[in-house]
């Protein structure tokens, strides 16, 4: 079955810097790659997603890239702000979502 690895498990950055979170997946049939943000005391919320026919997608300060050959996908957050502090989960899907183990991002003012 699908396996998703996510790195790093924790990431600390200064406000205004960029943050990058990386994931790898095992099942080459996976075709949908969402990213979820989980704020303290809340459920995960979708922030961006990408499908396998697209290499990159951007939404304001957030971008996701996909390398199907290497089975890697990454989340890029530019100009980080304290409100970006949260746990981020990647996931990969064929017929169901398999989540990574999460990255705790801390943005220091």
Partner 1 sequence: EAQVTQNPRYLITVTGKKLTVTCSQNMNHEYMSWYRQDPGLGLRQIYYSMNVEVTDKGDVPEGYKVSRKEKRNFPLILESPSPNQTSLYFCASSGLAGGRSTDTQYFGPGTRLTVL
Q: Which residues bind to partner 1, rule: CB under 8 A?
A: 6, 9, 31-32, 34, 36, 41-46, 49, 89, 93-97, 99-102
Provide the minimum distance between the beta carbon of 11 and partner 1 in the complex, in angstroms, as a whole number: 15
Written in H, E and C, the secondary structure of 44-103 is CEEEEEEECCCCEEEECCEEEEEECCCCEEEEEECCCCHHHCEEEEEEEECCCEEECCCE
Please say which residue, 30 or 74, places its beta carbon nearer to partner 1.
30
Please say which residue, 74 or 93, places its beta carbon nearer to partner 1.
93
Provide the minimum distance between the beta carbon of 14 and partner 1 in the complex, in angstroms, as a whole number: 26
């Amino acid at each position: 079955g699908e396996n998703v690895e996510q790195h790093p498990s924790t990431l600390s950055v200064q406000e205004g810097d960029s943050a990058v979170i990386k994931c790898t997946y095992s099942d080459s049939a996976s075709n949908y790659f969402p990213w979820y943000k989980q704020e303290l005391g809340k459920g995960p919320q979708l922030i961006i997603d990408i499908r396998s026919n697209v290499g990159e997608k951007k939404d304001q300060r957030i971008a996701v890239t996909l390398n199907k050959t290497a089975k890697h996908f990454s989340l890029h957050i530019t100009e980080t702000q304290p409100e970006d502090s949260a746990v981020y989960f990647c996931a990969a899907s064929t017929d169901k979502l398999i989540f990574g183990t999460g990255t705790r991002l801390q943005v220091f003012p």
